[in-house]
Structures are given as C-alpha cells and as structure tokens.
Amino acid sequence: MERMRAVQLLRVLAMSIIPGLAGLTGCEAPFLGPDGKLTFPENGARGASVLTANGLEFRDRDDIPPRVVHRTVDEPWHAPVGFILPRNGRFVETSRPTVAATTGLAFALRPSDSRVPSWGGEVLVRIDIIAPAAQGTARMGERLVIVVDGSGVDSMILAEQALAQLGAYDRIAVVDATDARVIVPLIPANHRSLAEAALEKRLRNSSRAQRNLSGAMFVARNLVGAGPGSRVLVLSDGKVAPSAPAVAQAQAFGHAGAPVSVVASGPGVDVSVFAALAQGGGLAHASDDADSRAGAVRMAVPAAGMTVFKDVVLTFAGNPAPSHVLETSGGGVRWRVDSGELLLGDVIAGEARTEVVRVTVPPYVPGEKFTFEVTAHAHDVSTGGERSFTAEIPCVYDDDIERIAQSRFGDVIAYASALATLKRLDAAFVGDDVDRAGGIWTIARMHAKSMTLLARDTNDRAIIEQAEVLNALLAVTDR
C-alpha cells in the first residue's frame, strides 16, 4: 500500500515538473513508466508512443518486449505492450482492402497493420460487408430517422431491428426525445454499428425525467427533410401520450409524403392513444409482446432487399500459428482451437455494413511473413447450397516498434477508436484501464483529427467521407 502511494505521489510530482525539465534539458518531454520511473528520451531518440493505463509513454526501439506465449486455449489473452501510436500521434498511411468475394457477396478486409510485433500482439480488421443488389431485388435508398421516446433495453432492440433493414443507399439518423437531442447525425447506413453504439451509450446514460417529442420531431425534419424518400420511426415506452404539438409535427411529415410510424411497448398500452402520430401511410402499433413489436418495426421500415444469404460466418486462421477473434463491434464470436470465427447472421440484397474485429497475432521471428487466412461461409438462399471463399491478408513480423508505429493504417485506427469511444471494442485501447489514461475521448479526438489531416493530404473521397462521419458523430455525442 505504501509503495502504491509513493508511486502515485511520484506521478503527481512528475506531471508538475515535466514541462520545466523538458525545457532545461533540451530533450523531449519525459515519459512516466508503469513502474513509476521517469524516462528522458534524448534528442533524436528512436521509438514510438504507447498508450497504457498511465497515459502515453515512450518506448525505445531497442527495448524489445518479451514474447507472450500462451500454453492453453483457456489462458486470458494480454498484450505485451499497450496500444502503439506514432510518436507525434499522426497517422500517415491508409489501408488497401483485401477482397474476398463470390457472386452476390463480398468482404473488403482492411487491417490496421501490415507490420506485426514479433513478440506477439493484435491487429484490428475493418470489414466492409457488401451484397450488391440485382435489378428489382432492392428498393431505392431512403433517409430514416429514429426518434427514441422510450427507455431501457426494448428501445435498443427495436432500433437495432430497424437498422438491420437498411441497405447500401440508405442514410440514418437518431434523435432522443428526452431533450430533442441528435444522437446520430445523418450518416450512411453502412455505419450502423456506430449508430447502435451511440444509441446504446445515450440510453444507458440518460434519465427519462422529461419528454420533448414535439421538439424531437422538429429536429428530425431538419435532419432528413419532409417528403418522399424520408421516413420516421418513433419508438415509445408507452408511458407518455403524444402532445398536440408532437402530432402536428407528425402531420407535417405526412402531408409532405414522408411516412411516420410509432411502435409503443408496455403492458396495457392503448394503441389509439398513439394512432394520431401515424401519418403518410405509416403504422401505429402497441403491444407488450416483444416479437409483435419487432414485427411491427420490420413493417414500418421495409427491408432494403430480400434475404440472399443466411448463417454468414468469417473464419480467421493465422499462418504460421493460430489466431483468434477477441472482440467485435457487431455479430458474435466463436473460438476454435486453431482459429476464431465471426458470426454475421443473415445478409439482404443491397446491404452494406461495416464492422471491426480484434484478432490476435502469435509471436514469431522478425522478418518472416504472417498471414491471416480469412474464409467466408454462407448459405445461398436462392440455390439452397453452401458457399465458401477465401482471401489472405499479408503481414510481416517486425521487432522495430518505431517502424511498426509509422506503418499503422490511420483510417482503420480512427474508425476503431470511434467505436471504442461509444463503448464498443472497449478493450482495443488499454481495456478497462483506459479511463486511467485520461479516457478514450481524448484518443478518439486525436485519431479523428489525424484522419482529417490524412484526408486532406490524400484527397481520397472515401477517407474524406470517413473523416466527416467520425467528426460529426463525435461532435454530437461528446456531451
């Protein structure tokens, strides 16, 4: 206990004297290590920044961590060092996708690293799931705004049901009726994991002492406009009847040709109380049965297309040693002795969504190749047969932490940090100790800023759009 207090006191003293020491010595700012020791990097020192529970620390390139060797599959996984960053916090490389595809289904796989630690570690992989729609198999794109006028798990489940109906050309927004606040600005529907995570965070942290449904409907009109191509879904907990101003806002949508639907939950809820909100061909539904409410949501938000693949699974196998999926932003994870699986479920025609997974990298020899062998398995609804197709993500082992840091792909890192900020992929950034490092918000803002600069330098339309999405999302959720 006394040693812990001494280390804490040392940290406080260190933080107060670091600026002065840096100026006096002419060196870079010192880093405080996990053992409480101060490190003073000399000018021109070579290495990388590492995010740990103590904050950002300097790691010299010659200080090679020991290998992490797991002797049983039940042993908890842990990283030998924290999250590796370039020393200046700015990423300069962008990923190139490795594509695994078959007729009607494709996966664009973007790893966070091309160089992996020879002492073992992990890689983040961004997965863009794409199911091109043949003519007549999918509807035109729509703008959907979900207005959450309820609380608890039920609203989250129903919102996820609605988001699962969307396709590549749809756009989504979410508004909280508690205080008429935008939770998710209008973003492409393929970022639905970001939308779900933002909604989950808001519902978990929000009190429901007040309601402003009319204000929320007004905000919704400003987000998506009123007219053909727009759609509103109100999710209510059935506890507060809609006010006359809220009904008037719904009627404005309906008169302009934008359907408004309401799904209310709770025992004994009278659907007639909420029927006035349903406008423009939308539906009103109230029930205390979860399956009934889920069915109503699917009717209120028509699927972008028909189901074309069922039971879709991605298997990650490492070569020359096993690799496992640790965590995912969406879907389920299943461990095998020699591989890890990501369970994605059903895919509809016209669907496009993005997920991020953490995958382990076993230790090996510097300079040798390491490959993620990714195999997709899917049940083809049209033929009744099984499809399997494979792609390989090439990497190389390296024992130079500076080289690893400089080669990391900023677009994947920034996207993952946004998900981590919204309480998905929590463990990707120092795990539960991230709050001790100053919180993930600081890291996410840094990554979003780096992504903005990267977009400016590359003039890549896709990177520019991603930077805009991340910055917009962080702007409305950082409150």
Pick the last residue of a domain from 273, 300, 327. Answer: 300
- Distance (Å, whole) CA 391 – CA 373: 6
Task: For the chain of 479 residues, list the mean pLDDT of each consecutive stretch of 10.
Answer: 37 33 40 46 71 78 78 64 82 91 94 94 93 79 91 82 90 90 89 86 69 91 84 90 91 91 84 89 90 93 91 94 86 84 92 90 92 96 94 95 93 85 70 63 75 78 77 70
DSSP for 58-92? EEETT-PPPP---SSTTSPP--SS-EEE-TTS---
241 occurs within a structural domain: yes
Distance of CA 470 to the CA centre of its chain: 10
Q: Are residues 327 and 414 in the same domain?
A: yes
pLDDT at residue 434 in the model? 62
91 occurs within a structural domain: no
423 occurs within a structural domain: yes
Question: For residue 77, how many C-alpha atoms fall within 13 Å in the half-sphere facing its CB?
Answer: 20
Q: Are residues 324 and 446 in the same domain?
A: yes
| Strand positions, DSSP E, 248-291 | 260-265, 284-287
Taking the alpha carbons at both ends of the chain, their separation in whole angstroms is 36
**Structure tokens, 423:** 């309480």
Q: Are residues 169 and 237 in the same domain?
A: yes
- Distance (Å, whole) CA 117 – CA 81: 10
389 occurs within a structural domain: yes
Q: Are residues 319 and 345 in the same domain?
A: yes
119 occurs within a structural domain: yes
Side chain identity at residue 138, one-letter code: A
Domain range spanning residue 447? 98-134+306-477
Pick the last residue of a domain from 300, 315, 337. Answer: 300
Q: Give the CA diameter of the chain.
A: 75
**Structure tokens, 304:** 């972008």
pLDDT at residue 404 in the model? 95
Q: Are residues 110 and 149 in the same domain?
A: no
Pick the last residue of a domain from 239, 265, 300. Answer: 300
Q: Are residues 384 and 461 in the same domain?
A: yes
What are the distances in angstroms from CA 216 to CA 69, 261, 296? 53, 14, 22
- The three-state secondary structure class of 365 is coil
Residue 353, domain CATH:
2.60.40.3880
- The three-state secondary structure class of 387 is strand
Q: Are residues 384 and 422 in the same domain?
A: yes
pLDDT at residue 471 in the model? 78
Please name the helix (run of DSSP H) or strand (run of DSSP E) that holds residue 176, with its range, or none: strand 171-176
Query: Which stretches within 149-280 are classed as H helix?
Result: 153-163, 192-205, 213-224, 244-255, 271-274
337 occurs within a structural domain: yes
Q: Are residues 420 and 334 in the same domain?
A: yes
- Distance (Å, whole) CA 331 – CA 341: 10
pLDDT at residue 17 in the model? 30
Please name the helix (run of DSSP H) or strand (run of DSSP E) that holds residue 326, with its range, or none: strand 325-328
**How do beta strands 260-265 and 284-287 pair?**
parallel
92 occurs within a structural domain: no
pLDDT at residue 38 in the model? 44
Q: Are residues 254 and 398 in the same domain?
A: no
Closest CA to 199 of 231, 247, 161, 226: 161
